[in-house]
Amino acid sequence: MTQDLDIQHLQQWIGRSEEAADHVTPALIGRFRAALGLGGSAPEAGAPAPRLIHFCLCQPAAAMTDLGRDGHPARGGFLPDVPLPRRMWASSDIRFSGDIRIGEAVTRRSTVADVQLKQGRTGPLCFVTVEHEVAGEGGGLVKDRQTLVYRSDEAKAPAQSAEPAPQGSATGAVMPTPTLLFRYSALTFNGHRIHYDHDYARDVEGYPGLVVHGPLQATLLFHFAASLRNGREPSSFRFRSLSPLFDGQEFALHAEERPGAELKLWTALPGGPYAMWAEAGWD
C-alpha cells in the first residue's frame, strides 16, 4: 500500500481552502447541553454559547450518493484523496478569542495546512492537518488546528497498551451508551459508521464495539475542566487520541493540576491505558 501513496500528489492539496456558514440556534445549544448533561438555563439569544460547540457548526452536508463506505464524504474534494480507507481524528490544538454567542451567524474558513506520510506499527499512516477559523458576527473567534490520520484496510484496529493510566486528583465517570454516541453523531452531522453501526465497526474495521468519538471525549474533558474552575471555560485546549474506547464500557475523566494556570486531563478505562490526553489553559 505504501507504494500507492504518492505524497507529492497529496501535498498538492496544501493551501486549499473552503468556507461554510451556519447559525448558532437556541435549539442546537439545548440539544448540545442535553446530550452532554451540561444543564444550565434555557438558551437565550446573546448569551455565550458553550465552547467546543464549533464541532457542531458548519459541517459538510454531502449527499448520500457522495459518501464513502465508512459514511464520511468521499475523498478528493476539499480533503486530499488519500487511498487509505480508515480515517480518525487524531488531535486538535484550539485557541479561543472572545465568545461565539447564541443567535449569531458564524462562518468557518478551513485550510489544508500539511500532508505527511509516516510508517506506523500497523502500516502506512497519512496525516492531514487542517486549520479552521470559526468566527461569530460579534467578534468571537475559534482557531482549531486539527490533524486527521488515515490508515490502511489491512491494518488491525489499534491495540491498547497494557500500561494503566494514573488516577487523577479529580475524576468523573461516563457511560458511553449507543444513545449518547448516536446523539453526538447527530449533533455533529457525523456519518462515520464506527460510531453507530456495530456490524460495520466489528466486521469491517475490526473493533469490538462502537467507537467513542474523539471530539466527544474532548468536549466532556473540556467541560469537566470548566467545572473544576467554577464554570470558567478554558481559553486554550489541546488533545490527542491515544487508544480507543467503546460503547458499554464505563470510562473516567481525570484531571491533575499543572504549574501555572493549566490542567492536565485524560480519559481511561478503570485500570486501562490513556485513551485521550488533553491540556486546558486559562489566560
3-state secondary structure of 81: coil
Q: Please indicate, yes or no, whether residues 100 and 114 belong to a single structural domain of this protein.
A: yes
Mean pLDDT, rounded, for 101-117: 97
Q: Please indicate, yes or no, whether residues 15 and 151 belong to a single structural domain of this protein.
A: yes
**pLDDT of amino acid 77:** 82
Q: Please indicate, yes or no, whether residues 177 and 54 belong to a single structural domain of this protein.
A: no
Mean pLDDT, rounded, for 170-181: 96
Domain end position, chosen among 155, 175, 194: 155
3-state secondary structure of 247: coil
Q: Please indicate, yes or no, whether residues 146 and 169 belong to a single structural domain of this protein.
A: no
Q: Please indicate, yes or no, whether residues 5 and 101 belong to a single structural domain of this protein.
A: yes
Burial (CB < 10 A; 0-12, 13-18, 19+), residue 73, is middle
Cell of 127: 496525516
**pLDDT of amino acid 85:** 86
Q: CATH number for the domain including 127?
A: 3.10.129.10
Q: Who contacts 44 (Cβ-Cβ below 8 Å, separation ≥6)?
A: 26, 102
Amino acid in position 212 = V
Q: Please indicate, yes or no, whether residues 68 and 97 belong to a single structural domain of this protein.
A: yes
Find the domain containing 11 and state its range: 1-155
With cut-offs at 50, 70 and 90, classify the pLDDT of residue 162: low
Domain end position, chosen among 96, 124, 155: 155
Q: Please indicate, yes or no, whether residues 86 and 209 belong to a single structural domain of this protein.
A: no
Percent of the chain exceeding pLDDT 90 equals 80
Q: Please indicate, yes or no, whether residues 195 and 270 belong to a single structural domain of this protein.
A: yes
pLDDT tens digits, 113-157: 999 999 877 789 999 999 999 999 999 999 999 999 999 876 555
Give me the number of domains the chain comprises: 2
Q: Please indicate, yes or no, whether residues 110 and 215 belong to a single structural domain of this protein.
A: no
Query: Hey, which residues does 20 pair with through a beta bridge?
Result: 108
With cut-offs at 50, 70 and 90, classify the pLDDT of residue 1: very low
Amino acid in position 118 = K
pLDDT tens digits, 42-89: 899 999 999 999 999 999 898 999 888 889 887 778 899 999 988 899
Q: What is the DSSP letter of 233?
A: P
Mean per-residue pLDDT over the chain, rounded = 92
Mean pLDDT, rounded, for 173-184: 98
Domain end position, chosen among 104, 133, 155: 155
Q: Answer for the pair 110, 17: CB distance below 8 angstroms, yes or no.
A: yes
Q: Please indicate, yes or no, whether residues 186 and 140 belong to a single structural domain of this protein.
A: no
Q: Please indicate, yes or no, whether residues 187 and 263 belong to a single structural domain of this protein.
A: yes
Q: Please indicate, yes or no, whether residues 64 and 203 belong to a single structural domain of this protein.
A: no
Question: Does the pLDDT value for residue 281 go beyond 50?
Answer: yes
pLDDT tens digits, 196-220: 999 999 999 999 999 999 999 999 9
What torsion do the CA atoms of 64, 69, 72, 74 make, to the nearest 10 degrees? -80
**pLDDT of amino acid 120:** 78
